[in-house]
Structure 1
Amino acid sequence: MAKNCCDAADVGDAHNDPQWRRILWVALALNAIMFAVEIVAGIAADSRALQADALDFLGDSANYAISLGVAGMAIAWRARAALAKAATMLAFGVWVLGSAIWGFFVEASPEPGTMGAIGSLALAVNLAVAAMLFRYRSGDANMRSVWICSRNDAIGNIAVLAAAIGVFGTGRAWPDLVVASIMAGLAVWGSAEVFKQARGELRST
């Protein structure tokens, strides 16, 4: 009988699956490219939300590289890698929140057209990555952290598009800054999920 592709036991062995590694390499390349595109666009458009999303792409690139490095190792090493990624997600959240608060004081003036165009491209990329990683969402903490990053990225991209509409409709910067703050909250929430599961896996070993 054919195995269920979402079965937890099947997914648990995916670190030795060449398909898992191929997906991570594709995700790594896409995230690195989008970081370069979005950081340039974010600075040009004076958008804190785009800049935050760009740094998120950079962080995800590092996370995928770490996941590739520990693929096939014992679960304890994978759990330690997940702890490192949780710390990265937390640091990203704190930085984005500080940047958003700073934006209120310097009177940022984001450009909604660029925000909408780049946000749509980023959403398409993240949805593609999330679709590729969907079957691995119930794996160990290391796999789950990769899935959570992709899930949060797609939600963040939708929020960036909402911010672009808000900036266009109001002519004010606050929708961009509010969305940047929401993205910070997602990063902190995601890091807490990964940290909790990774700690449990370390205790079990």
Structure 2
Amino acid sequence: MSGCCEEKSFDGVSPAYKRALIAVIAINGVMFFVEMTAGLMSGSQALKADALDFAGDTATYALSLFVIGASLQTRARASLVKGASLAIIAIAVLTMTGLRVLEGAPPEAGTMGAIGFLALLANLTSVFILLRWRDGDSNVRSVWLCSRNDAIGNVGVIAAGGLVAATGAAWPDLVVAALLASLFLKSAAAITIQAIGELKSEQAQQTPASETSL
């Protein structure tokens, strides 16, 4: 990881990348409303968890777009905000899942499967759009990681819907919601570690210059 930070990483300064990011922001914004509505109507924690991830992605992608062209320090600090937001979403999902355990009522499996598949198509589209920019600094990489996580999460939601239909139980939905939360935490850690590495690298480059001037 530290070796990557020492090299010149793609920082997002590209008209094509900006257009791609705007398209992905629009996709995520629409899917947040679609999936959250479906989650509330069906009682699915997995759909709600994935919807919160869409909301978080919409906000963090907008932040990524805003800091393109800024200094490495500014971009790294923006990535720290993204890492923190993912961790907060994970905690919210775990809290909602824990409360849902007490109720025990199974969600609507059909809605879970249908909306999960729609969300998967949306996220695969985002992943395809961003594929050529999957490597880069922490700001660019965080966008790729979030999109990848969404696609993985959608597969889990679809699988949970099938298991809920087969068993008539709520536990598949709750398990997938918890797994999504753990994936959010893992990505939050990866983004935060890279961002801290970039901040240290920037600081190390500035220190010799300041010492020389003295």
TM-score tier by shorter-chain length is over 0.9
Quick check: 1:96 aligned with 2:72? no
Quick check: 1:173 aligned with 2:147? no
Q: Give the partner amino acid of 1:176.
A: D
Q: Give the partner amino acid of 1:67.
A: S
- Counterparts of 1:48-127 in structure 2 under 5 Å? 48-127=45-124
If the length of structure 1 is used for normalisation, what is the TM-score? 0.93
Render the CA deviation track for 1:97-141: whole Å, top value 9, x for unaligned.
111111110223200000000000000010110111122221000
Counterpart for residue 144 of structure 1:
141
If the length of structure 2 is used for normalisation, what is the TM-score? 0.89
Render the CA deviation track for 1:52-102: whole Å, top value 9, x for unaligned.
111110000001110011011111111000000000000011111111111
Quick check: 1:154 aligned with 2:155? no
- Identity, in percent, stands at 49
Which of 10, 27, 44 is the aligned partner of 1:12? Answer: 10
Counterpart for residue 191 of structure 1:
188
Q: Give the partner amino acid of 2:141.
A: R
Tell me, in whole angstroms, the C-alpha distance in 1 between the residues paired with 2:124 and 2:193: 26
Tell me, in whole angstroms, the C-alpha distance in 1 between the residues paired with 2:132 and 2:30: 24
The DSSP-based 3-state class of the residue aligned with 2:198 is helix
Which of 128, 132, 139 is the aligned partner of 1:131? Answer: 128
Tell me, in whole angstroms, the C-alpha distance in 2 between the residues paired with 1:75 and 1:64: 17
Tell me, in whole angstroms, the C-alpha distance in 2 between the residues paired with 1:62 and 1:54: 13
Which of 10, 21, 24 is the aligned partner of 1:24? Answer: 21
The DSSP-based 3-state class of the residue aligned with 1:12 is coil
Counterpart for residue 212 of structure 2:
none
Q: Give the partner amino acid of 2:182.
A: G
Q: When the two structures are aligned, how many residues end up with a matched partner?
A: 196
Question: Shift of the alpha carbon at 1:32?
Answer: 0.5
4+ residue runs of structure 1 moved beyond 3 angstroms? none
Question: Shift of the alpha carbon at 1:188?
Answer: 0.2
Unaligned 5+ segments in structure 1 are: 1-7
Larger Rg: 2
Tell me, in whole angstroms, the C-alpha distance in 1 between the residues paired with 2:166 and 2:111: 15
Unaligned 5+ segments in structure 2 are: 1-6, 203-214
The DSSP-based 3-state class of the residue aligned with 1:16 is coil
Tell me, in whole angstroms, the C-alpha distance in 1 between the residues paired with 2:199 and 2:134: 19
The DSSP-based 3-state class of the residue aligned with 1:73 is coil
Q: Give the partner amino acid of 2:168.
A: G
